[in-house]
Structure 1
């Protein structure tokens, strides 16, 4: 059923779809076909191609996957000239802390698998923003999002377009993790190590008086990996991430494995398959 039939007199909405999963792109294409005023002008599976497509097609609206290999959604946006910045609806498989920022700073966000009702709502918001001539200010909203993600005030335009802007965000001093209805913000310097326990993550941090404290959150290793700088927080085992600055000693083990001693006295195993994550031990 067309929610906005062709020929209704409304200005058409030129849309770009960016997602590294072909099935996700196809699913969104089929759902968008039900909206008669929407023209999909391009589909891309990676950030670099999407950047070229943005310059070529100059769409009104982009459905942008946040988690993509290589250049993720945020890095893709950083490389788009401010004068060419379209309206953006973020698409994500993870209902984590950034959702709050999406709600505040983007046109909308969609969780995978995409719900038809939520898609219709996102399109409605985009149409309204354009009709109220708010699309031109959307670049400022996205800059505000970058600031929100870092826990700092919104970046200015010249700051956000600096080559090292994304890198600066990854050097921030807090990790925000969505746990059910709450958001936990953790001082990165206090993290000793993180390990997985089934569907939960255990974040071991410094407590009062030097005592250990463990935060148990419903999250995934993959989710946390994507939020942390891999140079500061390398994955050393399929179920373990360590704060590299807390390592004070290494001890060889069998079959190319090592034991890492942390400054808190905890000893962790470095798996051979993850040895290259700590170049100093290569």
Structure 2
């Protein structure tokens, strides 16, 4: 099981990481201090489980859980010093609620519950895009794409390590994956899971913050209200 630890206290993160070493088949794929940082790495580390604190600066644990509520992965186990949030936590779909200081026996039990929840869901289907390399057809997972940009006669799929030319137009891709691709501009689509925020420049332009890259494509005024609504809804 791939676990991402999200807690604003470094000592608490270190303790959880240490306890997880005693829990068998667990891989800690990240350790971050707030909800925004968690969103920024989700698309890169693909955790099965979040061990999530509630009271954190900025985007707190409950707000992050609300943004992820419609996903089958990652599942969430809250780790907090306060009992008062337990009812709301389960309303948000958490599989367990651990009180600090977390005991290893309770952590093992929470991991079993998390695995049962994961086993009850099939992995979400991955979209595939069709490209050509040296004239030969290849396919790539939509999850690996940073953004799709129309350039003259072609659509270029940008990944972390390379760029590939696609056979389909932006419109065809948008119609094929309406739930997975969102439009930033007339010449740019991005996978929905990549969008983590917006930033407004001094000159009034609005750029999209994308998980896994420093590249920030511009957002058109026409699409800006839709993107803001999507971010509010998670």
TM-score by length of 1: 0.41
Structure with a larger share of its residues in helix = 1
TM-score by length of 2: 0.49
Max radius of gyration: which structure? 1
